[in-house]
Amino acid sequence: CFFQDAIVVARELELVLTSKEAGKEVGRVPMAGIPYHALDRYASQLVEKGYAIAICDQVETAAQAQGPLVRREITRIITPGTILEEGMLQARRNNFLAAVVIAGEHWGLAYADSSTGDYWTSQSTGLEGLTQEL
C-alpha cells in the first residue's frame, strides 16, 4: 500500500515503512507491504483492530502495461462481516452471517454460523417477533 495507508499499516502491523521516489511533483511515496502468502494472518490482525481492508491485485503483466504503470484493481474487500476463511475466523466463537427480508408486515430471517455450518430460518409477521428472533 502507499501514502497514508502505508503509514497506518506499517504502524499497526509493526512493519518497516519504506518509500520510493515518484518524481518532482509527488516526491517520495511511503510504501508498506506483506508477502501474499501471509495475507490472512495480517488481514485478521487489521480486522481485529477495526479496519476494513481492500485487496488490490495486479491485473496485467509488465509486458501488457501501456506505459510505466502496471494496472491494479480491488479484487476483494475484507471486513468482520465478509470473513469466511477458516484461518481468519475466531476459534471457539460463533461467526454468524444473517439476512433479513421484509415485505409489508411479513419478514423472513436466515442466519448461519460460518464456523460450524449450522443454519436457521424463521418467518412471521410484525417487527416485534423479528426483534425477539434476532
The secondary structure of residue 41, as a DSSP letter, is H
Distance CA 109, CA 122 (A): 5
The rounded average pLDDT for each run of 10 residues, N- to C-terminus, in the chain (134 residues) is: 94 95 90 91 91 93 90 91 70 82 92 87 87 81
φ, ψ for residue 11 (rounded to 5)? -65, -50
| Shared-domain flag, residues 71 and 115 | no
Distance CA 41, CA 120 (A): 30
pTM metric for this prediction: 0.64
Query: What CATH number did the domain enclosing 24 receive?
Result: 3.40.1170.10
| Shared-domain flag, residues 14 and 47 | yes
| Shared-domain flag, residues 59 and 103 | no
**pLDDT value at residue 83:** 75
**pLDDT value at residue 121:** 95
**pLDDT value at residue 115:** 76
**SS3 letters across 7-31:** HHHHHHHCCCCEEEECCCCCCEEEE
| Shared-domain flag, residues 8 and 55 | yes
- Does residue 13 fall inside a structural domain? yes
Range of the domain at 113: 96-133
